[in-house]
Amino acid sequence: MLVLSLTSLVWYYFGIKFVKILLFPLLFLIFMVPVPISFLNHITLPLKVFAINMAVPLIKIFGVPLMILLKTKPLKVKKTII
């Protein structure tokens, strides 16, 4: 919202030519806006499950003892046949 307001103010006071010149820096400010934690959790949980599903079989192949401890609800790890 702040980035949009800043862009609008630049457009109002200096015109569209100046906005075109500053377009990249103004759009780069979007990265300053923090991502909501609920959205971040929604995205990272499937990535964590994927990482576990890929790592567990590789660790078992090398014969390393494995124990998964979770602080949150338990994740479903696919069983592999070795």
Q: Where are the domains of the chain?
A: 1-33, 37-82
Reported as a single tens digit per residue, the pLDDT across 3-53 is 888 888 989 999 999 888 988 988 888 888 888 888 888 889 889 889 988
pLDDT at 70 over 80: no
Q: pTM here?
A: 0.46
CB neighbours of residue 79 within 10 Å: 8
Q: Which residues of 41-73 are buried (b: 16+ CB within 10 A; e: fewer)?
A: eeeeeeeeeeeeeeebeeeeeeeeeeeeeeeee
